[in-house]
Amino acid sequence: MASPKQKAHWEATRSLMIIVMAIWFFFAIFVFCIGEQINHIKFLGYPLAYYMTAQGSLIAFVVLIFWSNSRQEKIDREFGFSDADREDD
Amino acid sequence: MAKSKFVQDLPRIYTIYTGGFVAFIALMAFAETQGMSAKNIGLCFVGFTILIYAVIGWLARTAEVDAYYVAGRQVPTVFNGMATAADWMSGASFVAMAGGIYFNGYTYMAFVVGWTGGYVLVASLLAPYLRKFGCYTVPDFIGTRYGGNFARFCAVLILLLASFTYVTAQINATGTIASRALGIPFDVGVWVGLVSILLCAMLGGMKSVTWSQVAQYIVLIIAYLIPIFWMSWKLGHVFPHFSLGGEVERIVALEAQYGLVKNSAEALKEAKVPAGLSSMSIPHSGVPAGAMAAWKYVSLAICMMVGTASLPHILMRYFTTPSVTSARRSVAWSLFFIFLLYFSAPMLATLSKIQLLDPNLPTAIIGKKIVDVQAIEWVKNWTAVGQVYIADLNKDGILQLNEWFMRDDVVVLATPEVAGLPYVISGLVAAGGLAAAMSTADGLLLAIANAFSHDIYFKMIDPRASVLKRLTVARVLLIVIGCASAYVAAMRLTGILGAVAWAFDFAMSGLFFPLVLGVWWKRATRSGAIAGMLGGLISGTWYLYYVGPTFLNQTPWLGIDNLRFGIIGASVSLIAMVVVSLLTKPESEAIQQMVDDARIPSGKTVMTQR
């Protein structure tokens, strides 16, 4: 069975996953549920809903993955389960 | 294991390659000024790039199982990101997406969000854990986590359905571009395309495909971005992505001035407008009103995102990295490289549209005399091949917005000519489209053939087969499946089979929950997974048959049409899997241990391949 340390590591991993999914939901789904209501707002000169679907959400996804990776690597190191040193293999 | 010399040399090799390709473009540009014909320039671009990919495929030939299936697990993160991006971006992304945005506006851009947002799911839910498992194929994971040949077989079945739908469309695109550039009939073009694809994949499997996909990514991204930046500079915008707000606003004003009119079917028939050509009738940046419109957008985005996270030819790319951490990092780089093209497509659509609409620009055609427009060189060329059509519906001799018809693909393919760029750019775009279609076809064919050779032949039929025998079977299967898809592609059934969106819906219906719950829910059992796979697949396929316009053509339920049938399939899959798992006994201690092992990055892979 999983050791207590493994369990704690998985708890932390799962919490991070839930946060990531919530942010993902906001930029991938929620923003476009209210697209009609926010399109009159201007951002960089673009209508906001148009901007989000053309660029904004895409940028958010890229940043989100890089950020969550660094968080996950921190969790892995904290519990001693990291394999990041094998990056140089 | 120390970093091999090859891996250390990679940045240098691909820098030289990129420099060489840019030099080749310059050479062609020079040849054009010396009077080289457009046809020969196109021929050189297509021939030269295919030759390069074939040479890479040959150099990466291998006789090792690990190299053939997972490129020896030594592909560095950034390079795997580029290979995945090429694997991902199909002929449709390259050739058709900007055109789709051009004609269908905001609603179509659900594809842009869908085809990028899915990578968040891949990175968080799947890629690192599947990498830790150490499988060769996606059905390999299902077969090991849930145990039993039947679960493995179900996964192969879904993989086949999703990937085959997708690959015929890619071979079709390869054939179209090859036939146009080489001046050969479409049927012959398809087979030429197939031979080029097999040259990349056959000798070295995943290893060959990886290194030619990196080369293909470099060609396709250069080919996509150069025309956009060039056109944007002509209009005085240094970096188009951040400064086209004014142009978008201008398009809204021009749309209001010219009037967006949707032509009636009778008018189109009377004017003899060829099928597949459209006129601009949907606002460029407006959001359609109502909750149903929002749901249509969101449901399409959900299908594409969840489908992304279930497509085997993408997931298997993350089996090639050296470690779990590098698999995760590699997903981030993949999305970054994909993002470079996807956030440019709406800008291309904007630039291309303003060129035709804005009366202050020399390229404008709307509002001009029809006889003058018909005399323009590019209008003549594209009208001759039936891609562009002018119908003077109100018979006033002036071209109105609703009297100008184009095929979607023309937006990408003809834009260099529309903007008055030299022909060398059109040749470059053809090479880019070919690279996009070939790289995706490579990955898909390999995914199908590997599932057959590894999961069906080696794991089920002959587990004692020697390495030589396994690799021979793998290569024969690759050729057979390649020929089968080229045969289907040559029949031009793409209207029925080529709906790329269907591949996503099939994959999400059958595979998403069995894969995700296999990692995230220990209580998931074999019977549950089988119920999930078959339940999702059958209900999804049935629903497709029920609403599909070429099938029963019934009224969609809640606006879930044939592009979105994955919503039905995946919901049924989730319910079936949870219910059946809870009704059956939990899996053994050994399986539980396996899942625990997969959840931590350190340590050996869960399964050992021979």
ipTM: 0.95
| Secondary-structure breakdown of chain A: helix, strand, coil percentages, each rounded to the nearest 5 | 80, 5, 15
Query: What is the Cα–Cα distance from B457 to B450, expressed in whole angstroms?
Result: 10
Please give the residue of chain B at the shortest CA–CA distance from A74.
Answer: B325
Residue B363, classified by CB atoms within 10 Å of its CB into exposed (0-12), middle (13-18) or buried (19+), is: middle
Q: Are B180 and B514 in contact (CB under 8 A)?
A: no
- The residues facing A46 across adjacent strands are A43
Query: What is the Cα–Cα distance from B212 to B262, expressed in whole angstroms?
Result: 44
- Sign for the pseudo-dihedral over CA of B100, B106, B109, B114: negative
Q: Between chains, do A57 and B113 touch, taking CB under 8 Å as contact?
A: yes
Please give the residue of chain A at the shortest CA–CA distance from B132.
Answer: A83
Q: Between chains, do B245 and A32 touch, taking CB under 8 Å as contact?
A: no
Query: What is the Cα–Cα distance from B606 to B610, expressed in whole angstroms?
Result: 13
- Run of H or E residues at B277: strand B277-278
Q: Which two tokens stand for residue B347?
A: 């800008």
Q: Helix and strand tally (H, E) in chain B?
A: 30, 3
Find the CB nearest A86 among B285, B322, B328: B322
Query: What is the Cα–Cα distance from B449 to B457, expressed in whole angstroms?
Result: 10
- Run of H or E residues at B392: none
Chain B partners within 8 Å of A65 (Cβ): 119-120, 123, 331-332, 335
Chain A partners within 8 Å of B3 (Cβ): 88-89
Please give the residue of chain B at the shortest CA–CA distance from A3.
Answer: B596
Query: What is the Cα–Cα distance from B519 to B596, expressed in whole angstroms?
Result: 9
Please give the residue of chain B at the shortest CA–CA distance from A16.
Answer: B124
Query: What is the Cα–Cα distance from B52 to A56, expressed in whole angstroms?
Result: 36
Chain A partners within 8 Å of B517 (Cβ): none
Chain B partners within 8 Å of A10 (Cβ): 599
Q: Which two tokens stand for residue B122?
A: 């891949």
Along chain B (610 residues), what's the average pLDDT of each consecutive run of 10 residues? 75 93 93 88 89 90 89 91 94 86 92 95 95 92 92 95 88 82 83 87 90 94 92 86 87 88 84 84 88 92 95 94 93 96 93 88 87 88 85 86 86 83 88 91 92 90 90 92 88 60 92 96 95 96 84 79 90 97 93 92 82
B344 contact partners, CB below 8 Å, separation of at least 6: B224, B225, B228, B240, B241
Please give the residue of chain A at the shortest CA–CA distance from B127.
Answer: A69
Q: Between chains, do B601 and A81 touch, taking CB under 8 Å as contact?
A: yes
Q: Between chains, do B600 and A6 touch, taking CB under 8 Å as contact?
A: yes
Q: Between chains, do A27 and B106 touch, taking CB under 8 Å as contact?
A: no
- Sign for the pseudo-dihedral over CA of B145, B148, B152, B154: negative
- Run of H or E residues at B389: strand B388-390
Please give the residue of chain A at the shortest CA–CA distance from B329.
Answer: A69
Please give the residue of chain A at the shortest CA–CA distance from B350.
Answer: A54
Q: Give the distance from residue B332's alpha carbon to the nearest chain A alpha carbon, in angstroms.
A: 6
* CA proximity to A54, closest of B413, B76, B102, B467: B102
Helix ranges (DSSP H) in B238-396:
240-243, 245-258, 265-270, 291-308, 312-315, 324-342, 345-357, 370-374, 377-384
Find the CB nearest A20 among B120, B242, B592: B120
Please give the residue of chain A at the shortest CA–CA distance from B347.
Answer: A54
Q: B460: how many CB neighbours lie within 10 A of its CB?
A: 15
**Residue of B80, B124, B131, B132 best to disrupt the A interface, most CBs of A under 10 A:** B124
Query: What is the Cα–Cα distance from B483 to B143, expressed in whole angstroms?
Result: 28
Q: Are B317 and B117 in contact (CB under 8 A)?
A: no
The DSSP symbol for B278 reads E
Q: B7: how many CB neighbours lie within 10 A of its CB?
A: 17
The single-letter code of the amino acid at B271 is: A
**b/e code B545-559 from CB counts within 10 Å (16+ = b):** ebbbeeeeeeeeeee
What is residue B496's predicted lDDT score, i.e. its pLDDT? 44
Chain B partners within 8 Å of A80 (Cβ): 602
The single-letter code of the amino acid at B232 is: S
Chain A partners within 8 Å of B77 (Cβ): 87
Q: Give the distance from residue A86's alpha carbon to the nearest chain B alpha carbon, in angstroms.
A: 6
Q: Between chains, do A50 and B113 touch, taking CB under 8 Å as contact?
A: no
Which residue in the block uniquely carries the two structure tokens 């060829």?
Answer: B274
Domain boundaries, chain B: 5-247+286-351+422-598
Which residue in the block uniquely carries the two structure tokens 């291998």?
Answer: B62
Q: Give the distance from residue A87's alpha carbon to the nearest chain B alpha carbon, in angstroms.
A: 6
The single-letter code of the amino acid at B28 is: M
What is residue B313's predicted lDDT score, i.e. its pLDDT? 93
Find the CB nearest B336 among A44, A57, A62: A62
pLDDT higher than 80, residue A87: no
Q: Nearest 5 degrees, angle CA B200-CA B410-CA B347?
A: 90
Q: What are phi and psi of B142, to 5 degrees?
A: -60, -45
Residue B41's SS3 state is helix
Q: Are A69 and B324 in contact (CB under 8 A)?
A: no
Q: Give the distance from residue A52's alpha carbon to the nearest chain B alpha carbon, in angstroms.
A: 9
What is residue B1's predicted lDDT score, i.e. its pLDDT? 44
**Residue of A1, A13, A36 best to disrupt the B interface, most CBs of B under 10 A:** A36
The single-letter code of the amino acid at B418 is: V
- Looking at every residue in chain A, the average pLDDT score rounds to 91
Q: Which two tokens stand for residue B193?
A: 């395309």
Query: What is the Cα–Cα distance from B518 to B529, expressed in whole angstroms?
Result: 8
Chain B partners within 8 Å of A54 (Cβ): 109, 112, 343, 346-347
Q: Are B606 and B591 in contact (CB under 8 A)?
A: no
Q: Between chains, do A35 and B287 touch, taking CB under 8 Å as contact?
A: yes
Q: Between chains, do B112 and A86 touch, taking CB under 8 Å as contact?
A: no
Q: Which two tokens stand for residue B359?
A: 């009366």
Residue B598, classified by CB atoms within 10 Å of its CB into exposed (0-12), middle (13-18) or buried (19+), is: buried
Q: Are B279 and B285 in contact (CB under 8 A)?
A: no
- Phi-psi region at B288: left, alpha or beta (left = phi > 0; alpha = psi -120 to 50): beta
Query: What is the Cα–Cα distance from B20 to B14, expressed in whole angstroms?
Result: 9
Q: Between chains, do A53 and B109 touch, taking CB under 8 Å as contact?
A: yes
Q: Between chains, do A76 and B600 touch, taking CB under 8 Å as contact?
A: yes
Q: Between chains, do B323 and A86 touch, taking CB under 8 Å as contact?
A: yes
Cα B158 to its chain centre, rounded Å, is: 18
Query: What is the Cα–Cα distance from B567 to B42, expressed in whole angstroms?
Result: 43
**Residue of A23, A32, A34 best to disrupt the B interface, most CBs of B under 10 A:** A32
Q: Between chains, do B298 and A29 touch, taking CB under 8 Å as contact?
A: yes
pTM: 0.93
**Residue of A14, A17, A55, A70 best to disrupt the B interface, most CBs of B under 10 A:** A55
What is residue B493's predicted lDDT score, i.e. its pLDDT? 61
Find the CB nearest B248 among A33, A49, A50: A50
Chain A partners within 8 Å of B248 (Cβ): 45-47, 50
Chain A partners within 8 Å of B592 (Cβ): 1
Q: Are B111 and B100 in contact (CB under 8 A)?
A: yes
Q: What is the fold, at CATH topology level, of the domain defined by B5-247+286-351+422-598? A: Sodium/glucose cotransporter (1.20.1730)
Q: Between chains, do A46 and B599 touch, taking CB under 8 Å as contact?
A: no
